[in-house]
Structure 1
């Protein structure tokens, strides 16, 4: 049996379509859909970035969970699952599932219970509400056994059901299907002439980098870790080489491939180097072109407002007691300051 980290496929893969109601179970409509996200989660982050770049904040509402995993059945002596929780700004600080840490309930949180999905205290509640209906019959026992109560979730307010929990498909929907309600319909992260190139880049960025850091962090033997870290840094070197010759991964146009890579890179030095043991190199000191790439994307105003390093560090360093039992959060290295200094230094020449 493999001890390598394995990411399970999302179960909810419906699509919102810009079609008449009679032709689509989920037609694109203004204010019909809702995103549930964590500011810490890289998969949810790319949905937030796409929503912001497309100017869909008024069209698609959002709920933001607390960054620290909590017991989702706190009164049960046998169900020890820990996952995303909703919280209200100003509530008492939250400890992790082992009882350590003291993480504040800050002003970006959207409330407990969730104000849109009535009665939801945990993200798990959203899945269980959906699964209580007839949808569970279309899933295999194996799929149900490996179901993860993950974010992002695209929720339909009208049907009170999960539309999708696959981030790559959510960003495609946000990009393609809501232009009638977008403030920036000219933004296209999937330009037709670059689609094949985007798919090609995504195939190795996802497997080797986005998922690769998790393979390093959650592998359960030395061999799995050694394989994962070699692959990770080989692909980071590959991205560095590409970005030495072009502004973005697919040329001079920012695409969904760049959003995918950025979501991992912005977390790399602050979290993954320490927490997931990806300490062979750092973006800030060993990859000048990846650093430039991060600075360029981070300083896009629509992107910058979606980056919350406080939540990122609070989540990773407190939510997995097997990796950091006492929930102690490292102070450095302040990667966002590095990006600001990089931009300032470029402007001074």
Structure 2
């Protein structure tokens, strides 16, 4: 089983300079390989293999003009080539857009060390190729073989190390899906999620709460001249607000998913396969949807469920979960989002819109598993 552990690191000035060189060299190699692939495809109508690109890179490093590429870990440069290959593969599979060049202006940067990454918990150090003895704060320890180490720098100038570990354990077998142990989950805006057992989790709306403070700082930032030092200072002030909101949202999602997976008797969780990218095209709801972070929540719920052998069942996004009566299955012609309570015209059952939706999601997911889906 692979698990990632993220730690805050505190490199000294010399280490920071070398880390920045790794960022720059990895970005250069990525852009160079991408340009080479595009040019080769335009001339010959086919792509270069990874082996040929690697041989071109080796020849390039031997030239005096590009000798500075030898100052960083060679495996990190090869990983940049792998990223180009993966980007093209995902594009041709229809899973991603065409790869773009990496910009130097983007403040958040990262590079990966596929080999020779070690951790010393007693001394509080992380060792990487050409970077030894980086101070780190370990919030928790792990046991297992380190596969890769990734160094990232946030927009606020903080450094982190993400360590991917193989703990030698196998993923547990998924449990049998039982209707009595299946919970339907309706993701929303007024409430982050509503369960089919009538439980509701509030949505703190972190971005909305920080919007006034953020707007003030952004107005100040807009008045600064780009060549001044105050421009960079104010840019950092805006980035800190965004970082705090992101951390608050992530912490909430971890807390909620932990309660669902570890403090709940359910073994299966039914959710809608939402098309978030299409939903945010609605300019009236885009900010609220992004603030809720549905995609991140589903990602956390899915991998945590896999760790504990539980099931995540996804219902078709075109299933009219909010318009159907969960009691008699009568379908309404329309139901505005502003209507939070309604009465079924067929069986006269009073419904809370969110609870009714979560019940419909649960019933549809169980029907899909049994092969009795109606949609």
Same fold (TM > 0.5): no
Q: TM-score range by the shorter chain?
A: under 0.3
Bigger Rg over Cα: 2
Structure-2-length-normalised TM-score: 0.26
Structure-1-length-normalised TM-score: 0.27
User: Greater RCO between the two (CA within 8 Å, min separation 6)?
Assistant: 1
